[in-house]
């Protein structure tokens, strides 16, 4: 009897003398890209025999290895013939990608896309609805419709995505109060809330982030610093920006990462690749289950002469984003190493 008691005590002692293993990999890894137009068949036909290989062949490997792959789909997936844009005017473009390309986007790994941008309605409301249906049909989620919160399960926890642009048909970057309300609503159901915005002015003069309203061609395109801070104050955990067609600085605010613009990812027959407009990247960001930024990485890309992405061995995007982050957010940005690592 005495021996049994001793053995029981020893068993309990040894059981609790070993630490229980910590939760394995208690982070979520996001990979994200910026503005993406995988070809347009308007106004001329699009003739690509193998779109997956032609458009993604040089970068597909860099899209792998994340829990969620996100991008801004700045086109439409429709066969609707009539555009809502007056393309006879200078600098007015309409983008229409073949619906069959939705399958290509799924095959290369995209889990969720923003459809909140200034080209989502290029082919009227019908084109917008077709885009949503064609993405859903292949299993890609989307976000950005007005009032829309997109929920997904990642590693057993609920993650909400909310997309914004400067247009009234989408959640609007200029309506910060409404954005705060959406974040608070999302936080009731989701442990993490991720934000995507399409905002800011465009082109060279828009390279730097400023804490003020940005305008472009008479449009109000948001005070993106105020917008991002307000949504993080309300409970958002990651903010991913796109829209200026340039890469921009990054900021850490209350331990949350804000990437103010990921620039152009792809724009075959649609977007320019000249100069810094052709600097591109895949952003890798890891957040813990409480939403705090843990670490990340800039995978440097560049757009070739046809605006198709390829790896950039000169790492120009890393050098530019490092410089911009120091200039625009001194003491407030993440540390970016020469190799592209992003550290709190």
Find tokens 């309605």 and name the residue: 121
Which domains does the chain carry? 24-343 (3.60.21.10)
Long-range contacts of 138-141 (CB under 8 A, 24+ apart): 138/102, 138/103, 138/105, 138/106, 139/106, 140/102, 140/105, 140/106, 140/110, 140/111, 140/112, 140/113, 141/111, 141/112, 141/113
Which pair of tokens denotes residue 194?
A: 């991720």
264-267/27-37 β-pairing: parallel
Torsion, Cα 303 28 249 272, to 10 degrees, reads 20
Respond yes or no on whether the N-terminal peptide bond of residue 344 is cis (omega within 30° of 0).
no
Q: What angle do CA 120, 123, 125 make, to 5 degrees?
A: 75
The pTM of this model reads 0.92
Can you give the pLDDT of all 344 residues of the chain as single tens digits? 445 544 454 444 444 433 433 445 799 999 999 999 999 999 999 999 999 999 999 999 999 999 999 999 999 999 999 999 988 888 889 999 999 999 999 999 999 999 999 999 999 999 999 999 999 999 999 999 999 999 999 999 999 999 999 999 999 999 999 999 999 999 999 999 999 999 999 999 999 999 999 999 999 999 999 999 999 999 999 999 999 999 999 999 999 999 999 999 999 999 999 999 999 999 999 999 999 999 999 999 999 999 999 999 999 999 999 999 999 999 999 999 999 999 99
Task: Give the contacts of 199 (CB within 8 A, at least 6 positions apart).
Answer: 164, 165, 166, 173, 214, 221, 222, 224, 227, 241, 243
Of 261, 183, 179, the residue nearest 227 (C-alpha): 179
């Amino acid at each position: 009897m005495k021996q049994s008691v001793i053995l029981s005590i020893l068993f309990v002692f040894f059981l609790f003398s070993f630490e229980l293993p910590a939760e394995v990999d208690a982070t979520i890894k996001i990979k994200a890209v910026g503005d993406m137009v995988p070809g347009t068949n308007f106004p001329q036909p699009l003739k690509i025999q193998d779109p997956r290989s032609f458009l993604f062949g040089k970068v597909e490997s860099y899209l792998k290895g994340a829990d969620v792959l996100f991008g801004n789909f700045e086109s439409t997936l429709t066969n609707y013939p009539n555009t809502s844009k007056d393309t006879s005017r200078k600098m007015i473009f309409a983008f229409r990608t073949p619906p069959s390309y939705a399958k290509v986007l799924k095959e290369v790994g995209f889990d969720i896309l923003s459809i909140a941008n200034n080209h989502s309605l290029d082919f009227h409301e019908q084109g917008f609805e077709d885009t949503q249906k064609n993405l859903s049909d292949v299993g890609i989620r989307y976000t950005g419709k007005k009032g829309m919160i997109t929920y997904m399960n990642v590693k057993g926890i609920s993650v909400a995505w909310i997309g914004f642009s400067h247009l009234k048909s989408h959640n609007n970057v200029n309506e910060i109060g409404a954005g705060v309300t959406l974040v608070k609503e999302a936080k009731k159901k989701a442990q993490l809330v991720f934000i995507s915005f399409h905002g800011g002015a465009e082109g060279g003069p828009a390279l730097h982030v400023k804490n003020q309203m940005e305008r472009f061609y008479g449009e109000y395109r948001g005070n993106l610093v105020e917008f991002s801070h307000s949504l993080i104050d309300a409970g958002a955990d990651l903010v991913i920006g796109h829209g200026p067609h340039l890469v921009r600085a990054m900021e850490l605010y209350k331990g949350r990462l804000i990437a103010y613009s990921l620039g152009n990812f792809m724009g075959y027959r649609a977007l320019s690749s000249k100069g810094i407009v052709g600097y591109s990247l895949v952003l890798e960001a890891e957040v813990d289950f409480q939403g705090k930024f843990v670490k990340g990485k800039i995978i440097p890309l560049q757009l070739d002469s046809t605006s198709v992405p390829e790896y950039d061995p000169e790492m120009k995007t890393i050098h530019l984003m490092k410089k911009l982050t120091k200039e625009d957010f001194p003491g407030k940005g993440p540390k970016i190493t020469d190799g592209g690592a992003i550290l709190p």
